[in-house]
């Protein structure tokens, strides 16, 4: 069979001319309306007698060169058929990664590196890849990645590692030619540790490449990587956050419920008359000061239990308290306080 041959289908009614070949087993048949239909080669048969002598070939070529003939020969028309990407079980949850692969892992001190965007989901992803330069950003790449594939972004050497110290990736997920569940856009910032590119053990075996690679998670099972940078306003809002359940329980600060632990509410509006003129950092330091003084006052009362209410938010204040308990008050034990009694965002400390 050749492009231009007239064919008919063996197992169904219809036929047309051969417009091209998708591979050795699939032939593209163009019908009278100009639509191209993919068919298996063993399901079509050539019909009629074609003249392939030299004179005929010259005549056909001359006809193609005539300017008055506007209709394009089927053999010259581009193949527009495109196989849709296959979806996989479990791919409806978004997962995407940024990977760095050494070109020659055996020569780690001299090798260059390749960057890849990995789309491990059933969604298309349009991404923007940025690097920070001083107080501005530089666009390094933007592209669309098909479902369940990886895309090469760029090659680079160690000389530009400092320029890649801070990266940002924005992702827009969607599907083509079918309905899908809406997924919010993803905006992730990463800080690359240049030292990792000099250590062989940081390049790990993985499911995406045959060779070891450094892989950063952008989003996994619909859960984006936590933002690397939190602005001051967001930090301030988190410090003023109060648990809302149960609403009927009045906050006690500082006091002791009958037969229960001491309760200290560290919310800024409970321990400060006003926060006017104070920065988020000033408020956080004051809350930590109240926490430390409370523990010091009860240091000799072994077994005393104190509940510190700090709110949920992004966990900035709680993390600061845990850090103090690990390094300043190592002998004290701590755990999450009862949710039923204190709601979210409370830590129970026991003096030891």
What crossing angle do the helices spanning 280-297 and 316-327 adopt, rounded to 10°?
40
Mind listing the pLDDT tens digit for each residue in 69-118? Answer: 555 566 666 666 566 778 888 889 999 999 999 998 888 888 999 999 99
pLDDT given for residue 82 in this prediction? 62
pLDDT given for residue 314 in this prediction? 62
Please state, in angstroms and rounded to a whole number, the distance separating the CA atoms of residues 81 and 168.
Answer: 35
pLDDT given for residue 67 in this prediction? 56
Please state, in angstroms and rounded to a whole number, the distance separating the CA atoms of residues 67 and 54.
Answer: 23
Tokens 């789309």 found at: 119
List Cα–Cα distances, 285 to 241, 323, 332, in angstroms.
17, 13, 21
Give every residue of the chain whose pLDDT is below 70, as ranges: 48-83, 226-259, 313-314
Q: Please state the φ and ψ torsions of residue 12, each to the nearest 5 degrees.
A: -155, 165
Specify whether the CB–CB gap between 257 and 301 falls below 8 A. no
Tokens 């506007």 found at: 70
Token pair of 119, please?
A: 């789309």
Token pair of 75, please?
A: 């053999």
Please state, in angstroms and rounded to a whole number, the distance separating the CA atoms of residues 75 and 318.
Answer: 70
- Give me the half-sphere count of Cα atoms (radius 13 Å) on the Cβ side of residue 268: 20
pLDDT given for residue 184 in this prediction? 93
Token pair of 19, please?
A: 């417009």
Q: What is the pTM of this model?
A: 0.46
Other C-beta atoms within 10 Å of 113: how many? 22
Contacts of 169 (CB under 8 A, 6+ apart): 98, 117, 127, 128, 129, 130, 186, 187, 188, 190, 218
Contacts of 227 (CB under 8 A, 6+ apart): 187, 188, 189
pLDDT given for residue 90 in this prediction? 85
Tokens 């972004």 found at: 153
Specify whether the CB–CB gap between 74 and 44 falls below 8 A. no
Please state, in angstroms and rounded to a whole number, the distance separating the CA atoms of residues 186 and 169.
Answer: 8
Please state, in angstroms and rounded to a whole number, the distance separating the CA atoms of residues 350 and 265.
Answer: 16
Please state, in angstroms and rounded to a whole number, the distance separating the CA atoms of residues 318 and 322.
Answer: 6
Other C-beta atoms within 10 Å of 25: how many? 10
What does DSSP say about strands 305-309 and 262-265: parallel, antiparallel, or unpaired? parallel
Specify whether the CB–CB gap between 310 and 344 falls below 8 A. no
pLDDT given for residue 247 in this prediction? 33
């Amino acid at each position: 069979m050749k492009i231009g041959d007239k064919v008919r289908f063996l197992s169904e009614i219809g036929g047309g001319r051969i417009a091209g070949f998708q591979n050795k087993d699939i032939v593209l048949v163009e019908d009278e309306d100009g639509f191209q239909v993919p068919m298996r080669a063993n399901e079509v048969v050539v019909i009629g007698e074609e003249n392939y002598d030299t004179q005929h070939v010259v005549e056909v070529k001359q006809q193609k060169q005539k300017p008055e003939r506007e209709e394009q020969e089927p053999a010259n028309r581009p193949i527009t058929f495109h196989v849709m990407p296959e979806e996989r079980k479990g791919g409806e949850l978004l997962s995407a990664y940024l990977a760095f692969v050494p070109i020659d892992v055996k020569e780690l001190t001299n090798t260059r590196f390749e960057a890849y965007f990995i789309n491990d989901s059933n969604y298309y992803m349009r991404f923007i890849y940025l690097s920070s330069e001083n107080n501005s950003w530089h666009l390094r790449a933007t592209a669309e990645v098909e479902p369940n594939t990886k895309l090469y972004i760029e090659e680079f050497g160690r000389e530009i590692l400092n320029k890649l110290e801070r990266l940002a990736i924005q992702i827009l997920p969607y599907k083509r030619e079918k309905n899908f569940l809406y997924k919010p856009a993803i905006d992730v910032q990463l800080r690359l540790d240049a030292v990792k590119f000099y250590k062989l053990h940081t390049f790990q075996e993985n499911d995406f490449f045959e060779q070891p690679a450094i892989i950063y998670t952008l989003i996994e099972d619909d859960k984006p990587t936590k933002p690397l940078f939190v602005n001051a306003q967001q930090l301030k809002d988190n410090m003023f956050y109060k648990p809302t359940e149960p609403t009927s329980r009045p906050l006690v600060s500082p006091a002791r419920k009958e037969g229960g632990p001491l309760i200290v509410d560290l919310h800024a509006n409970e321990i400060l008359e006003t926060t006017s003129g104070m920065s988020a950092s000033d408020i956080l330091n004051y809350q930590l000061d109240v926490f430390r003084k409370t523990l010091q006052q009860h240091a000799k009362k072994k077994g005393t239990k104190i509940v510190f209410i700090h709110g949920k938010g992004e966990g900035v204040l709680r993390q600061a308290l845990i850090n103090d308990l690990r390094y300043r008050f190592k002998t004290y034990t701590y755990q999450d306080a009862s949710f039923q009694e204190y709601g979210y965002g409370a830590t129970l400390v026991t003096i030891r």
